[in-house]
Amino acid sequence: MQLKQLGLASYQPTVEAMQAFTQARTPSTPDQLWLCEHPPTFTQGLAGKHEHLLAAGDIPVVQTNRGGQMTYHGPGQIVAYPLIDLKRANYFVKEYVYKLEEAVIRTLAYFGVTGHRVRGAPGIYLRLNDPQSHASIGLPEGGSDAQINQFFREHGLGKVAALGIKISRHFTYHGVALNVAMDVEPFSRINPCGYAGLKTVDMASVDATITLADVMPVFAKQLQTWLAG
């Protein structure tokens, strides 16, 4: 898998470049992994509802063709775009999502932080009052948005990584965003991923010594390892 470090890259041109790469690739095209930061941008996925945008202020809002609801990108967040041929890699979409989440969990663990999955709500979450805890958080009693949101509140969870993927002709694009050391205030201007009041956290809020430069190579290695066919 070829690794491309894009640095600070505008959102819309990056998406257009991913789409062009995906449309032009053939069964012999090597897979790539793009890593970048984006300037402050709200993005709304295909399932996004306008009411989840509370107050954009001076931050632009971009409609996009990834899955999922509303999220925010900004400096200090690593955005990973795996461009993978799932047919050649020989795994399915559910496995792909699992591998993305596992790469996040292993990256967090490297820095002493415990990430958790929540059934029905893709992404990775932390216990806000005990981010090193390995205790199981159990499972939501139901799969409705209200039930999952109640589960977040009951267990004191905050979201540290969000997923939003797109599959075209078994080729992947879009990907996963990991909050490392960023201003999380803009998340309060939306219902993150469609959940009203969902707290959003970054790794630096757990350990102020964590920097994006520290996390970037670890995250890249974990993604390359877990996404290998």
pLDDT in tens, 154-184: 999 999 999 999 999 899 999 999 999 999 9
User: Which of the following is catalytic: 9, 36, 83, 193?
Assistant: 193
Helices assigned H by DSSP within the chain: 11-24, 86-89, 93-110, 145-155, 212-227
Q: pTM of the prediction? A: 0.95
Q: Which CATH architecture has domain 2-227?
A: 2-Layer Sandwich (3.30)
Q: Is the alpha carbon torsion for 83, 90, 225, 105 positive or negative? A: positive
Is 36 designated active site?
A: no
Q: Helix 212-227 vs helix 93-110: angle between axes, to the nearest 10 degrees?
A: 140
- Contact indicator for 121, 193 with CB cutoff of 8 Å: yes
**How far is Cα of residue 197 from the mean position of the Cα atoms in its chain?**
18
- Cα gap 171→168, rounded to integer Å: 5
Q: Which residues contact 81 (CB under 8 A, 6 or more apart)?
A: 14, 18, 33, 34, 35, 36, 173, 174, 175
Give burial (CB, 10 Å; 0-12/13-18/19+) of 43. Answer: buried
Render each residue's pLDDT in the chain as its tens digit; 229 residues: 999 999 999 999 999 999 999 999 998 999 999 999 999 999 987 776 778 888 889 999 998 888 778 899 999 999 999 999 999 999 999 999 999 999 999 999 999 999 999 988 899 999 999 998 888 888 887 778 888 888 999 999 999 999 999 999 899 999 999 999 999 999 999 888 788 888 999 999 999 999 999 999 999 999 999 998 6
- Cα gap 165→31, rounded to integer Å: 16
- Contact indicator for 65, 46 with CB cutoff of 8 Å: yes
What does the DSSP 8-state code read for residue 186? G
Residue 170's pLDDT is 94
Residue 28's pLDDT is 94
Break the chain into its structural domains and give their ranges: 2-227
Closest alpha carbon to 202 in 184, 223, 175, 222: 184
Residue 136's pLDDT is 84
Residue 68's pLDDT is 79
Closest alpha carbon to 69 in 202, 177, 192: 192
Would you list the DSSP string of 72-111? EE-TTEEEEEEE-BHHHHT--HHHHHHHHHHHHHHHHHHT
Residue 99's pLDDT is 97
What does the DSSP 8-state code read for residue 18? H
Residue 229's pLDDT is 62
Closest alpha carbon to 177 in 37, 25, 8: 37
36: which strand partners? 7, 79
